[in-house]
Amino acid sequence: MSNPLADMEKPDVIFAIGTNMTECHPVAATRLKRALTAGATMIVADPRQTRLAKMAHLHLPIRVGSDVALLLAMAHVIQREGLIDASFIEERTAGGNEFLQHVKEFTPEWASDICEVPAADIEKAGLLYGKGNPSAIYYTLGITEHICGVDNVQSLCNLALMTGNLGVEGGGINPMRGQNNIQGAGDCGAVPNNFPGFQPCDHPESTEKFSKLYQTEIDGTKGITKVTALDNCGKGIHAMLIDGENTVVTDPDKNHCEHALKSLDHLVVIDIFMTETAQLADVVFPATAWGETDGVQTNTERRVQRLRAAVPPVGEAKPDWWIVSEIAKRMGVPGFEYESARDVFNELCELSPIYAGLDWDRIEDSEYQWPVPDRDHPGTPRLHEKEFKNGRGKFTVVGYRDPAEVISDEFPLWLTTGRRLEAYHSRTQTGRSAGIEYLLSHESLEVHPDDAEALGLVHGGMAKMASARGEIEIEVKVTDMSPQGTVFTSFSFAEVPVNILTGSGYDPVTQTAELKVCPVRVEPA
């Protein structure tokens, strides 16, 4: 997030797109609710009539995967109505003229055909966002899990840049991170393109720095992504070390994934449960769980916070860092002589400019949001206040593209997936917590009443749902939560392995899977 969570109570206009926040980030959503009580106006773009959408002043139930068209047309309206922040564009951005020229052709009428919402509503959304002072954008995986995920994000940046809504209190562009430490995994360099602290792998000085620190020669190029690695299993990739991820269930195209992992010569999995992924491993290590582990995690607003162990580990479980270090030591790799999580974290701080002002003791009270470049720095609740990291904020000229697969006679419905309030991911945790089943005992497919009638589906009955990749059976829930022509389910239940169906394509830049769009056929089972 460019702005702190506390800023969520301060926008004049809220633009929430591709985020089912009341279910996925409920506590953050409480702040938006308070902003609404205080008089803020909210636009929600989401195919489904989520709780957030019901609270909105303007709900745009756009067709899945049509975000770029909507955002271009909103930019068109803002440009046409002179709602741009000319001095911000002049002083702090690059590529503005080209972008403003570019958007002239993308009218709300044009977008209306693609997004399947009235042009007048798109017009209204543009005016609201453009006039808001400040306007804030919130998004989640509904934006990124598309083949055009990067285009979507850049389109949002364009909106914020053209209206000067960056670096201001109550504004910004705010992705809500889905996992407790997904931000931290990136901070720590567990990505193929960056060393710890977002030091790029393809910059010679960082490569040199880390090669020296890690006492080996590291490639001066980015690594491949997980998606490519999985594609290459058995054909170049022959061993994997997977820490705490149930890849088989949460990744798209389950069959492909399972096949990939099976074709490895050596798979080592560290986890707290015998997940579907661990079952394929050659070695499974029991990790300590939350509540048994001292450590650090970074939240979605870049706040660096301490995890503390409250109870001893179950059985012989060990912290992940200890397990990884032991493997390294046994392979004769130097530099893994850690005695505690503190040692590991302090090393990270030393190597990482954004953590340079931190250490284990200084984060005791959760008060810092990175970057914290030095010991005297108070932390950075709000990014881009005075300048952008790379000098100027860059506009990107983007165009609309159809999803990787579009509906057809064979697969006439859009399937989109997401989460539910009571379940988390593959339910390895919530599924093992007493009482949750009282509220959510099984998964179902949300089908619009008109679709249900046309397809002969009944509420509570079973349906077969098929995509180009596979077929599953699922119970039908007839509801107008989803618009006609779109069905929805979550990926949380192993009994309903919806990711057998997904996986139509990947964003070419980030290789994030298009989990949010999958043409399907649904019929009574």
Partner 1 sequence: MISDLDAQTTEKALMLTLDGEKVSFEAGETIYEVAERHRREIPTLCYDERLEAFGACRLCIVEVEGIRNPVASCTTQATEGMVIQTKTEAIEKHRKTLLELVASENRDVDVNQLSGYASQELKILVDRYDARSGRFSGKKSGTSNTKDKNPFILRDYDNCISCYRCVRVCAEREGDYAINVMNRGFDTQIITEFNNDLRDSECTFCGQCVQTCPTGALGDKKALRDSDTEGEIEKTRTICPYCGVGCSVDMLSKGDKIVGIQPAMDGPANEGALCIKGQFAFDFIQNADRLKKPMIRREDGELHECDWDEALNFAAAGFAKVRDKFGRHSVYGIASGRAPHEAAYTMQKYIRATYGTNYIDNCSRA
Stretch that binds partner 1, among 115-123, 127-135, 324-332, 403-411 (CB under 8 A): 324-332
Of 111, 127, 123, the C-alpha closest to 41 is: 127
What whole-number distance in Å separates Cα of residue 87 and Cα of residue 157?
17
Distance (Å, whole) CA 153 – CA 146:
11
Letters for 250-269 (x = contact with partner 1 by CB under 8 A, - = none) are xxx------------xx-x-
| CA atoms of 169 and 6, how far apart (whole Å) | 10
Q: Does 282 bind partner 1 (CB under 8 A)?
A: yes
Binding residues among 120-179 for partner 1 as defined by CB under 8 A: 176-179
Which residue number, 152 or 300, has a Cβ lying nearer to partner 1?
300
Q: Which of residues 405-434 bind partner 1 (CB under 8 A)?
A: 421-422, 424, 428-434
CB of 347 or CB of 475, closer to partner 1: 347
Q: How near is the Cβ of 512 to partner 1 at its closest, in Å?
A: 5
Asked if residues 217 and 211 have their Cβ atoms less than 8 Å apart, the reply is yes
> For partner 1, which is the closer residue by CB, 182 or 458?
182
Residue 180 as a binder of partner 1 (CB under 8 A): the answer is yes
164: amino acid identity, one letter: G
Write down the least CB distance from residue 193 to partner 1, Å: 7
* Surface-to-core class of residue 327, CB atoms within 10 Å of its CB (0-12 exposed, 13-18 middle, 19+ buried): middle
DSSP annotation of 524 reads E
User: Per CB under 8 A, which region of 57-65, 84-92, 131-139, 300-308 contacts partner 1?
Assistant: 300-308
Binding mask 333-362 for partner 1 (x = CB under 8 A): xxxx-x--x--xx-xx--------------
Stretch that binds partner 1, among 59-67, 108-116, 302-310, 445-453 (CB under 8 A): 302-310
Shortest separation between residue 70's beta carbon and partner 1, angstroms: 24
Residue from 94, 119, 436, 468 binding partner 1 (CB under 8 A): 436
Of positions 91, 109, 219, 480, contacts partner 1 by CB under 8 A: 219
Q: Which of 91, 221, 259, 509 binds partner 1 (CB under 8 A)?
A: 221
State yes or no: residue 218 binds partner 1 (CB under 8 A): yes
Check binding of 81 to partner 1 (CB under 8 A).
Answer: no
* 204 near partner 1, judged by CB under 8 A: no
225 binds partner 1 (CB under 8 A): yes
185 near 169, Cβ under 8 Å? no
Residue of 157, 219, 224, 218 lying closest to 191 (CA atoms)? 224
From 109, 120, 133, 290, residue interacting with partner 1 (rule: CB under 8 A): 290
At position 140, the amino acid (one-letter code) is T
Task: Compute CA distances 16 → 19, 44, 403, whole Å.
Answer: 6, 5, 21
Instruction: Report whether 315 contacts 14 (CB < 8 A).
Output: no
Q: Is 214 in the site for partner 1 (CB under 8 A)?
A: yes
Indicate the angle between helix axes 341-351 and 204-213, nearest 10 degrees: 150
Residue 435 binds to partner 1 (criterion: CB under 8 A) = yes
Task: Look at residue 152 and give its three-state secondary structure.
Answer: helix
Least Cα distance to 412 among 446, 451, 450 occurs for: 451
Minimum gap (Å) between residue 190 Cβ and partner 1: 4
Per CB under 8 A, does 227 bind partner 1? yes
- Residue 182 touches partner 1, criterion: CB under 8 A: yes
- Find the part of the chain contacting partner 1 (CB under 8 A) among 71-79, 312-320, 444-452, 465-473: 312-320
Read off φ and ψ for residue 186, nearest 5 degrees.
Answer: -70, -45
| Beta carbons of 504 and 517 less than 8 angstroms apart | yes
| CA separation for the pair 427, 338 (Å, rounded) | 32
Residue 238 in contact with partner 1, rule: CB under 8 A: yes
Could you tell me whether strands 199-200 and 194-195 are parallel, antiparallel, or unpaired per DSSP bridges?
antiparallel
Rounded to an integer, what distance in angstroms lies between the CA atom of residue 103 and that of residue 95? 13
